[in-house]
Structure 1
Amino acid sequence: MINRNVFKVDVRDTQFLLWEQFKVQDTLLRHEFFQQFTREDIDGLLEHAKSFSTQYLGTSYQQGDRQGCILNKDGTVKLPEAFVETWNEFKDAGWNPLGSPLEYGGLGAPYVVGQAVNEILMGANPSFMIYSGFCNPALYLIDKYGSDELKETYCSKLANAEYSACLCMTESEAGSDIGRLRTKAIKQDDGRYRIQGEKIFISSGMHDLTSNIVYIVLARVEGAPAGTSGLSCFIVPRKNNDGSDNGVRCLRLEEKMGLHGCATAHLQFGEEIECYGQLLGSRENIGLYQLMSMMNLARIATGVYALGMASSAYLNAAEYATSRLQGTDIRQSFNAKAPRVPIINHIDVRRMLLEMKSKVEGCRALIIKLSYHHSMASTLEADNADCKDKNAEWRQYHYEHSGMVNLLTPIVKAYTSDQAWRVAELAIQVYGGHGYISDHPVEQYARDIKVLSIWEGTNFVQSADLVRDKLAMGRDSKLLKLYSKHINEFVSQQKDKEYLQTELQSLINAHSVLCEVHELFGLWIKQQKMEMIFGVSTRFLHMMAQVTLSWLLLESAYIAHENLQNKELSEEMKEFYHAKITSASYFIKNHLAEIYSIAEIIKSEDNSALIASEKTFLPEELLA
């Protein structure tokens, strides 16, 4: 097939968020750590990422899907033909070191800048970007917990994509229930551990793009307790330092619905040749705790992948709608001579485009907000790395930022991936029959997006994490108080303005309903109805996401309204700001309004799922 770029991105919206809404130039970029990054530099990075994606990543997106990956008889994997050349260009362009620490040869860019760039790169060709996707999370994991030997061996090579990395947790009998995993680690006299077992669904698990692959393996040391408390984390290279084989084999590649260019591998450790790994840190049985920071970064990255693809699907659909002639203007329905019009003239197509636009812009604002707080928290930690006695002001300021990161991470992962699937579905609908065929990219976006609601902990797992660990199961929650404080401060700043008051009142009311439902969860705990909470936790996460997106979109709209008072604005900028107001108004009136019905469903305490049995779903002859 002809290699063509199908990727589209709205860099202007990202710039609006960075410079006008979150004003990183007045906070992050004033810090001594980031003085080398100016607004002009970052704008240049975004434009460079856009042009790189157009020239290299986007052109191999559909080709990678068509060709897929092939497992050779010798256990090596053949990737789509364009990926090798693209990898060399990717390395030469220096994208991987962008967010890596300076001490390992990275550029040390603020996290929020890295995620803004990643949306472009990951959205342009997610299958390809997965091969480098775990480099930085693995680097930070090793830097945080690893010995000096591990840091010296791996960190610089991961920073510069000389090595790649992947996370190896899932087993055939241990998916979300990782306490059941059976991979063994047997301690040796020299301090290493012999690794034996198999892992499945390992993204980018076998390839030759890099000279080595660093496997982050969760395993159980012989004699360790059962369950998650007996798991340890090991650094297992594909090849030893001398280049010899370390006994990692690819048994098969999964045939998947999407992401065909990514080699999703079933790996075997230590069967034909003994395989050795090094314990991460100095203690066994704390592997899951160690991996949480890496998993949270991966969950945020999942949201970024989803956003990048959803944005491109929306922009492709919007472009198609301006050129596809179909039907006549509804007001000319009875005029046999009426000219055909582009489908964007049809009100239902505009409705679909507005849903896509508002959700994409809302999720982008959500991810930039989380990334901004992550950057601020990391900067504060680096400022006080050597100070053991941190004062109360520092602790409060750090909590303001780290707390929002913890709270928003499951929402970013779950809501963004769910809505990306919805956006891709709507994009197909806008295309009509043409959207269902592979000549156009939107059917591939749908297939590639779907796994993101399953990756890195299913979206139910995210909702359970939100209500249980972040919001204290409806009891007194510091994070909910922090969240409410931020919303109330925003409302206070806008309440005396004459415009957008209907939308502001809707946000106030919706936030109140969200807090009422949270209080209901606390009542259920007292009534020993805990299982009811997990029956509706996914709905609650969506409620909280809708409130959050409404808040952020409305904040964008207020900024846009104020900027429109500038009479020297170009017509292009006027259109941009008017569109920001339209996005906020549409989302609040059409999607924030949904939370009232969701709240009523939750309050009804429907127990259908609790009383249902296997016989509810299957006839007798199909029951095992």
Structure 2
Amino acid sequence: MDFLLWEQFRIHETLGLDSAEQRDIIQTNMANARAWAEGPLAQSYKETDEQEAYLADGKVVLPDSYPGLYQGFSEMWTQWQDGAAQGTAMPPIVQNLIIEMFMAGNASFMTYVGFSQPAKSLLRAHGSDDLNATYGPALQDMRATACLCITEKGAGSDLSKLSALATKQDDGRYLLTGHKWLISAGSHEMTDNIYYFVLARTDPKQTGMAGLSCFLVPRYRIDEAGAHRIDNGIRVNEVVTKMGFKGCANTHLLFGEDGVETQAFLLGRMEGTGLQQLMMMMKPARISTGIFALGLASSAHETSVAYSQQRVQGKRFDRAMSARAPSLPIAEHPDVRRMRLDMAAYTSGCRAMIARLGLYQSFEDDPSQPEDLRRAADDISEVLLPIVKAYTSDKAWVVCETAIQTHGGVGFTRDYPAQQNARDCKVLSIWEGTNHIQALFLFRDKLGMCVQPKRLNTLRAAIEDTLARAEATGALDKDVHNLRDALAALGDATAAARDCVRYQRMNDVPQFAVELQAALGDIVIAWHLLEAAEIALKALASGDADAAFYADKVDIARHFLRRRLPQSAASLRAIAGEMQDVVATQLAKTQAA
């Protein structure tokens, strides 16, 4: 992680964090976060799988360690907030790395605190002054947690089917009825209150996407003394039993139950603006999902590497039949080395991609940065957002499966955590919009259906800058060639998609969207790995570097750009050919008519 901060993204220069004090604060916060992640968080990880959250007498029971973990997180978070108030706030790139450590330690627990910061932003942006004054302080000092409540049974990702209803009363209040399903961290007893941010209709006659509003719905309303204790009629009907993430209570919530009204507070000044308000949540939600996935993948990768270094089995291939040949740690066998390089490429590449988003967020938020830099950062960030969510969650599953394979038979047992990592990470390709939805979002909204290539051209220009530097080393020529070839194949595929749109065959593109997204993800990862390799080669040439560390950076990049990236280029050319056939068929029909 230090390599990313100080060498690859050089935050002492790019963000002006060049004082010894600033660097010391960042490194101290990183060290404290790592100690907590590798200590109490990681030590409770297996327990969260064995003590699955469940419902008893109307209340959700969590793993025994959670109250203590929540207290520890609250204390650490308070220290960071105090630092931010004193002008030493951690930049997003550092925050993303710290959150990854927490996810690697115990991702299930982190669901209980993960929505609090976005909830504060949503409340500040759209809540009235009175609503912020009444309910904001408990979010700030973590006496309340927050949940996003969108999904309903039978609706899934189709928001047009939502039916929860907030009815306006004569006195101006809104009363909420209906249900929400699969709400992550939807109920617990660790805090004074839980705030549900609920997407609901205000007119039962309206259908489709129109008429959806966002409401703050507290579990307990606040009485005249300022205490969180007025029952707001929210009941937990079920805690679902799941394949993984067992310490996270995914709840079925009912509103207006037991004859108790559920009062809801409208965000914004008018009804029907809920979707627009929640758009500000989409960016942090996608990044957060990517960090969830990366944390689990990193944990699986690291534990499998440690296991492979101490597990002695088998002999060198050319001495396999020799009785005198020594057995080796399995890490020295070629196929285990291949698996390690695959895992390292995906985890380090995704980590760099997410770090870049954090860096670009700082650029976008800083009006003192050059305007062209801010525009480029925005263009590239918009392209990367669905990739961060979809690609990272897809590859996390691959990494976890590879980690199990590295362990051999014991990887299939509960004695080792890789199998839990795999079960926990699978849902991440489904929640916050399935990865197919992300692929459609990428094609339609971010790439402008490939008819408006501005953002993609900005990304390509940034990659070309890296290619030029890598080419100058003289040691990465094959890797540079392969990335340029993949970019050319991407150009063929996007041109074919554009032609499908132009010739009225747009509906044929979605079948290729996931493959296009995956290949673009591989290109982005290759970009970051090549950038790291170019920096590593310079460090090795200086003679003062940690030779093994930097040589591994080069090996990882070469492995990915020579073994994995050509497969993506071939995939892009295959789907380009398929789409070209679609266009040719359409043109033939048009001419025949």
TM-score, structure 1 length as denominator?
Answer: 0.89
- Work out whether 1:195 is the aligned partner of 2:167: no
1:311: which partner in 2?
298
Equivalent residue of 1:249, what SS? Answer: strand
Equivalent residue of 2:111, what SS? Answer: helix
2:444: which partner in 1?
468
CA deviation string 1:494-542 (max 9, x = no partner):
4333221211121112112112211111100122111221001010011
2:44: which partner in 1?
60
1:51 to 16, 35, 46: 35
Contact (CA 8 Å) 1:366, 1:412: kept in 2 or not?
Answer: yes
Contact (CA 8 Å) 1:99, 1:114: kept in 2 or not?
Answer: no
1:334: which partner in 2?
321
Shift in CA distance, 72/404, structure 1 to aligned 2, threshold 3 Å: same
CA deviation string 1:218-266 (max 9, x = no partner):
0001257321121110011100012211111100100000011111100
Shift in CA distance, 309/37, structure 1 to aligned 2, threshold 3 Å: farther
Contact (CA 8 Å) 2:217, 2:263: kept in 1 or not?
Answer: yes
* CA–CA distance in structure 2, aligned partners of residues 329 and 412 of structure 1: 39
Contact (CA 8 Å) 2:203, 2:211: kept in 1 or not?
Answer: no
Contact (CA 8 Å) 2:500, 2:579: kept in 1 or not?
Answer: no
* CA–CA distance in structure 2, aligned partners of residues 441 and 62 of structure 1: 7
Letter in 2 for 1:66: E
* CA–CA distance in structure 1, aligned partners of residues 472 and 123 of structure 2: 51
2:589: which partner in 1?
none
Instruction: Kindly state the Cα deviation for residue 608 of structure 1 after the two structures are TM-superposed.
Output: 13
* CA–CA distance in structure 1, aligned partners of residues 152 and 537 of structure 2: 52
Shift in CA distance, 18/244, structure 1 to aligned 2, threshold 3 Å: same
* CA–CA distance in structure 2, aligned partners of residues 310 and 154 of structure 1: 36
Instruction: Kindly state the Cα deviation for residue 25 of structure 1 after the two structures are TM-superposed.
Output: 1.4
* Residue correspondence of structure 1 range 153-552 to structure 2 within 5 A: 153-222=134-203, 225-242=206-223, 243-272=229-258, 273-380=260-367, 395-552=371-528
Moved more, 394-403 or 422-431: 394-403
* CA–CA distance in structure 1, aligned partners of residues 309 and 372 of structure 2: 50
CA deviation string 1:322-366 (max 9, x = no partner):
111212121211212322221112111111111001111101111
TM-score, structure 2 length as denominator?
Answer: 0.93
1:80: which partner in 2?
63
Shift in CA distance, 582/394, structure 1 to aligned 2, threshold 3 Å: closer
Contact (CA 8 Å) 1:50, 1:120: kept in 2 or not?
Answer: yes
Shift in CA distance, 459/262, structure 1 to aligned 2, threshold 3 Å: same
Percent identity reads 38
2:560 to 567, 572, 587: 587
- Work out whether 1:38 is the aligned partner of 2:11: no
CA deviation string 1:572-603 (max 9, x = no partner):
x1111101111111010111111222123313
1:621: which partner in 2?
none
* CA–CA distance in structure 1, aligned partners of residues 164 and 343 of structure 2: 43
CA deviation string 1:18-63 (max 9, x = no partner):
11111111132449xxx89712211121111111112210010001
* Residue correspondence of structure 1 range 46-125 to structure 2 within 5 A: 46-73=30-57, 75-92=58-75, 94-95=76-77, 98=80, 108-125=89-106
CA deviation string 1:356-385 (max 9, x = no partner):
0111110111110111111221233xx6xx
Equivalent residue of 1:244, what SS? Answer: strand
Moved more, 474-483 or 407-416: 474-483
Instruction: Kindly state the Cα deviation for residue 108 of structure 1 after the two structures are TM-superposed.
Output: 3.6
* CA–CA distance in structure 2, aligned partners of residues 199 and 589 of structure 1: 47
Shift in CA distance, 106/200, structure 1 to aligned 2, threshold 3 Å: farther
Structure 2 residue ranges without an equivalent (≥5) = 224-228, 583-593
1:597: which partner in 2?
570
* CA–CA distance in structure 1, aligned partners of residues 483 and 470 of structure 2: 12
* CA–CA distance in structure 2, aligned partners of residues 578 and 325 of structure 1: 25
Letter in 2 for 1:556: A
CA deviation string 1:538-589 (max 9, x = no partner):
10011111111111110000001001122233xxx11111011111110101
Structure 1 residue ranges without an equivalent (≥5) = 1-13, 384-392, 610-624
Contact (CA 8 Å) 1:106, 1:159: kept in 2 or not?
Answer: no
Letter in 2 for 1:361: S
Shift in CA distance, 366/72, structure 1 to aligned 2, threshold 3 Å: same
Instruction: Kindly state the Cα deviation for residue 96 of structure 1 after the two structures are TM-superposed.
Output: 6.4
* CA–CA distance in structure 2, aligned partners of residues 347 and 494 of structure 1: 27
The runs of at least 4 consecutive aligned structure 1 residues that moved more than 4 Å come to: 99-103, 606-609
* CA–CA distance in structure 1, aligned partners of residues 78 and 422 of structure 2: 27
Letter in 2 for 1:70: Y
Contact (CA 8 Å) 1:206, 1:265: kept in 2 or not?
Answer: yes
Equivalent residue of 2:231, what SS? Answer: coil
* Residue correspondence of structure 1 range 548-587 to structure 2 within 5 A: 548-569=524-545, 573-587=546-560
* CA–CA distance in structure 1, aligned partners of residues 263 and 339 of structure 2: 53
1:146: which partner in 2?
127
Aligned alpha-carbon RMSD (Å):
2.2
Equivalent residue of 2:222, what SS? Answer: coil
CA deviation string 1:136-162 (max 9, x = no partner):
011111112221122223334323322
* CA–CA distance in structure 2, aligned partners of residues 71 and 36 of structure 1: 51
* CA–CA distance in structure 2, aligned partners of residues 530 and 37 of structure 1: 55
Equivalent residue of 2:65, what SS? Answer: helix
Instruction: Kindly state the Cα deviation for residue 203 of structure 1 after the two structures are TM-superposed.
Output: 0.3
Moved more, 184-193 or 405-414: 184-193
Shift in CA distance, 223/83, structure 1 to aligned 2, threshold 3 Å: closer
Equivalent residue of 1:435, what SS? Answer: helix
Equivalent residue of 1:39, what SS? Answer: helix
Shift in CA distance, 280/150, structure 1 to aligned 2, threshold 3 Å: same
Equivalent residue of 2:112, what SS? Answer: helix
Equivalent residue of 2:383, what SS? Answer: helix
Contact (CA 8 Å) 1:99, 1:109: kept in 2 or not?
Answer: no
* CA–CA distance in structure 2, aligned partners of residues 560 and 81 of structure 1: 45
Shift in CA distance, 224/379, structure 1 to aligned 2, threshold 3 Å: farther
Instruction: Kindly state the Cα deviation for residue 476 of structure 1 after the two structures are TM-superposed.
Output: 2.1
Letter in 2 for 1:482: T
CA deviation string 1:462-497 (max 9, x = no partner):
110001000011202221121112122222344333
Aligned length: 576
Equivalent residue of 1:215, what SS? Answer: strand
Instruction: Kindly state the Cα deviation for residue 402 of structure 1 after the two structures are TM-superposed.
Output: 2.2
Shift in CA distance, 288/330, structure 1 to aligned 2, threshold 3 Å: same
Letter in 2 for 1:256: K
Instruction: Kindly state the Cα deviation for residue 192 of structure 1 after the two structures are TM-superposed.
Output: 2.8
Moved more, 258-267 or 22-31: 22-31
